[in-house]
Amino acid sequence: MPTPVREAAEALGLRVLTPEKLRPAIDELRALQADLFVVASYGKILPQAVLELAPHGAFNVHPSLLPLYRGATPLQSAIRDGRTETGTTIIMMDAGMDTGDVLLQETTGLGPDETYGTLHDRLAVRGAALLLRALDRMMRGQ
């Protein structure tokens, strides 16, 4: 099932790639001649060969205050651990799992009755706004 991000991007006429395996898709990615990749909710490590295709690298939107809660279950982990705050991080991707340089980070409270669904939706909106700030800074050379 397509994600809401994919549906919104396609409604805007944007091309969205979600290859099962990245190495066979390298030629397709190279043909895009992208300046920058943006990755959100992908769940796979991008190999260095993919990261090197875009001159400005790849930004990742991650729903935690990295380096805390790397990996695929940051929302569930923050709720399970009884955290009172969490947040969103934009990183410059490297070949590790959520180990790239932190570009921007924003903290938000985490209520005692927070659910995965409410937290997911709230951080998705905040992550999109933070991504726009990161892209704006990149465009201004910051």
- Domain 34-139, second-level architecture: 3-Layer(aba) Sandwich (3.40)
Where do the structural domains in the chain lie, given as residue ranges? 34-139
pTM of structure: 0.89
Q: What is the pLDDT confidence band of residue 136, given thresholds at 50, 70 and 90?
A: very high
Q: In what order do the strands lie in the sheet with 101-109?
A: 37-40, 58-62, 85-92, 101-109
Q: pLDDT of 106-126, one tens digit each?
A: 999 999 999 999 999 999 999
Beta-bridged to residue 87, according to DSSP, are 107
pLDDT at 99: 93
User: Which phi and psi (to 5°) does residue 120 adopt?
Assistant: -55, -50
Q: pLDDT of 74-111, one tens digit each?
A: 999 999 999 999 999 999 999 899 999 999 999 999 99
